[in-house]
Amino acid sequence: MAQLIENLKIGDAGVDIPVLAPAVNGTSKETEDSDDDVAEDTPAVAKRPKKKQQKVQTDPPSIPLSQLFPNNTYPKGEEVEYKDDNRWRTTNEEKRHLDNLNGDFLSDYRQAAEAHRQVRQWAQRSIKPGQTLLEIANGIEDSTRYLVGHDGLTEGDSLIAGMGFPTGLNIDNSNILKVDIGIYIGGRIVDSAFTIAFDPIYDNLLAVVKDVTNTGICEAGIDVWVGELGGYIQEAIESYECEINGTTYPIKAVRNLCGHTILPYSIYGTKTVPFIKSDDMTKMEEGDVFAIETFGSTGSGRYVEGGEVSHYALRGNANTKDLTLSSARSVLGAIKKNFSTIPFCRRYLDRIGQEKYLLGLNNLVKSGIVEDYPPLNEKQGTYTAQFEHTILLRPNVTEVISRGDDF
C-alpha cells in the first residue's frame, strides 16, 4: 500500500471553500453601519427574518451530509427508462406504487451515493504525483467517515455506515491509477470506480472504457440475461483500439473479472455479469442491485493473483464451532462486532486497537471462516482502465445511483 506514484506532489489540504460572512440580524454589515445616518424619529421598520446560511462542503470533505441535507432528502441518481418489452413499467401505476414503498431503501442508497460523489470528486482533484497509495487511501476513507458521521472507532459504529470495502488502488506503469471506492449506509453499498491518467496519451483508453461501461448500463434491465449483457460489453470494448506512444493496441475485455449483484452488508451477491458473452441465462430481476463495471486492457485480457493479501471478508455461513485457537476466536469476535460481512483490511484492525492478531487471522482464513482477496495484476507493461457504477433495478425505472457530473 505504500507504493509511490512517481513525480506526484499533493497540494494544500484542509482548506475550506469560502463561505460568505452571515448577515447580522438579517442585514449586511454595510447596511447596519448606514443606520447611523437615519434620524432617530424615523418610524421603525420590521426586521427581515434571518436567512439561514447554507453550509458548504470543505476541501477535503469534513462536514457530515446530515448537516448539508438536514431534511434527509438526497439527490436521485440518473433514471433510465426501461425499453422494449419492459417499456410499460415506466408508466404502470402498480409499479409506480411499489416504487414509492421503497423509501428507506432509496434514502440509504442515495445518501451513500452522495457521499461517494463528494469523496471521489475531491479525490480526482487532489491526487497528485508524489503521494503514496496509503496516503490516498487514508484521505478517501477519513473523508468518507466524516461525511457519513460514523468514525467506526466504537464497537458496532462502523456497522451503521462507513466504507463498503477498503479503498482499491492499482497503478500501471506509474501513470494510470484505478480507484475503487465502496460506501454504505445501513448496509446499502454503493460501489463505483474510476481511472486517473497522469499523462494525456492514455486519455483515449480511459474514454473507451468509460463509454463501454455506459453501454453495459444502457443494456442492463429487468429480464436481461447476464450472459447476453456480457456479450454487449465485449462487442463494444473489442470494437475499439487506442494509440499509446506511437503503438496501436487492440483493447480487450478482461475475461476473468465481472460485475456483480450487491446484497445488504455484502459486496458480492449471487449473480455476476461477465465482460464477455456467455451462455449464462441468469436473469436480472426487479429489486436487484448491480455493480456494472468494465476493465479494458491492452494486454492479454486476463488478471492473475499476486502480492500481499489486501482485503478480507467474513463468510456469512461459516461454521465457527470447532475454532480452538484463542487468538483466532478473539479476532473473529472483533470482526463480527465491527465489520460483520463487510470487507476489511489489516489497517482497519489496527485502527480499532487490535494487536497481535495475524496468527489468528491466518487461522480464520485457513479454516474457511474468513476469505482473503490477494491483489489482481495484468502482465508488466500492460495498460488497463476501469469504470464502474451501481444501478438499482427499481420496479418502474433503472436508477444509476452513483452517477455524477464527473462520470
Q: CA 6 to CA 231: how far, in whole Å?
A: 37
Q: Which residues contact 16 (CB under 8 A, 6 or more apart)?
A: 56, 58, 59
Q: What pairs with residue 189 in β-bridges?
A: 184
Binding site annotation covers 155? no
Query: What size, in residues, is the chain?
Result: 407
Backbone angles phi, psi at 85, to 5 degrees: -70, -15
183 residue type, one letter? I
Any binding-site annotation on 388? yes
CA–CA gap between residue 262 and residue 164 (Å, rounded): 11
Tell me which amino acid residue 186 is: G
Neighbours of 286 (CB within 10 A): 16
Classify residue 167 by its DSSP letter.
E
**Could you count the other beta carbons within 10 Å of the beta carbon of residue 98?**
15
Q: Which three cell numbers stand for residue 263?
A: 446484497
Buried b (16+ CB within 10 A) or exposed e, 137-160: bebbbebbbbbbbbebeeeebbbe
12-59-171 Cα angle (round to 5)? 70
Closest to 123 (Cα-Cα) out of 138, 111, 140: 140
For residues 102 and 191, give the distance between their C-alpha atoms in angstroms, rounded to a whole number: 20
260 assigned to a ligand binding site: yes
Residue whose grid cell is 488502488: 169
Binding site listing:
180, 191, 260, 293, 388
Q: Which residues are annotated as a binding site for a divalent metal cation?
A: 180, 191, 260, 293, 388
